[in-house]
Amino acid sequence: VVDDELLIRKSLGKVLRASGYTVDVASNGAEGLEKVGSLKPQVMILDMRLPDTDGLTVLRRARELDALLQVIIITAYGDVQAAVDAMKLGACDFVRKPYEMEDIVLAVESAGRTFRQASELDLYRRRAWQHYSGEEIIGESTAMDRVRGLIEKVVKSKATSVLITGESGTGKELVARAIHYRSDRGQAPLMEVNCSSFQEALLENELFGHEKGAYTDATDTKKGLVELCDGGTLFLDEVADMPLPTQAKLLRFIDHRNFKRVGGAHDISVDIRIVAATNKDLDEEVRIGRFRGDLYF
């Protein structure tokens, strides 16, 4: 808890300890940052107004020290812009003064869950990077050397759409993962979907998500894979089996880099690389009308 008011530090510490948390406090930004470095806390409750600096400076420096740290901003009523700026810098939540203690406890519970999820995801990414960075692509031949050379070209390029073709069992999925984990997107999510495993409506929902109330069973808003892998890579396996209406929506997304969730009214923009794979001859699939020529292009 980083706050310059002694009474607030004491009261927040008492309530949070009663809820089962281990709590430390700091009265200014410098002390708070020192404790982030030494204690490695999971959650920081940070007042925006401090005697030695402002909350945004502390937030920015704290996130540099520990990217997994979840920061809850305490802000005065009406200081909305500061809260918005804090969220852009990576704060997970903000609570306006005057607040109820229950609001703080709920915010800390939510931040704790986010921290655990982020920690698990970070561990998964590091393990995946070690496993899928390309070493498992084996074989010594001119053809395999050419494949490795192509992977390196794609990894270093800014190409945002990549198509991998080849017969079943030749390692298309391994190539897709090597492209992701060896690129500068390797620390961001890799989301994979087998296009042959879903019916049209389900595949669109899987890719683009839905808004609450979009259909009968949509009781909550759901983010799709496109949104979840922002900054990373979306791997579309068996892309030739994608239904034609979904192909049209994918084409629009590739052209504009934004989309609407099912039932949504607003465009959402993301920065992802799409890697698609198929064992079919797409020239032939286009000729017989099963795959869109513009999407293939």
Is 80 exceeded by the pLDDT of residue 165?
yes
pLDDT for 244? 95
Label residue 125 by pLDDT band (50, 70, 90): low
Q: How far apart are CA 199 and CA 46, in angstroms?
A: 47
C-alpha closest to that of 190 among 157, 160, 230: 230
Least confident range of 90-94, 213-217, 249-253, 267-271? 213-217
Helices assigned H by DSSP within the chain: 6-18, 29-39, 55-65, 80-88, 101-132, 142-156, 172-182, 200-208, 225-228, 244-256, 282-287, 293-296
pLDDT for 109? 93
Is 60 exceeded by the pLDDT of residue 133?
no
34 against 79, higher pLDDT: 34
pLDDT for 180? 92
218 against 109, higher pLDDT: 109
Label residue 135 by pLDDT band (50, 70, 90): low
**Across 49-69, average pLDDT:** 91
For the chain, what is the mean pLDDT?
Answer: 89
79 against 192, higher pLDDT: 192
pLDDT for 290? 95
Residue 117: Cβ-neighbour burial (10 angstroms; 0-12, 13-18, 19+)? exposed
CA angle 271, 276, 277 (to 5 degrees): 160
Is 90 exceeded by the pLDDT of residue 30?
yes
Is 70 exceeded by the pLDDT of residue 148?
yes
* In contact, 30 and 52? CB cutoff 8 Å: yes
Is 90 exceeded by the pLDDT of residue 126?
no
Reading the block at residue 161, the tokens are 């759409």
* In contact, 241 and 195? CB cutoff 8 Å: yes
Q: Which residues neighbour 104 within 8 Å (Cβ) at sequence distance 6 or greater?
A: 12, 15, 16, 45, 72, 95
pTM, two decimal places: 0.58
**Across 214-219, average pLDDT:** 80
3-state SS of 93-118? Answer: EEEEECCCHHHHHHHHHHHHHHHHHH
Is 80 exceeded by the pLDDT of residue 24?
yes
pLDDT for 127? 67
Label residue 78 by pLDDT band (50, 70, 90): low
**Across 270-278, average pLDDT:** 96
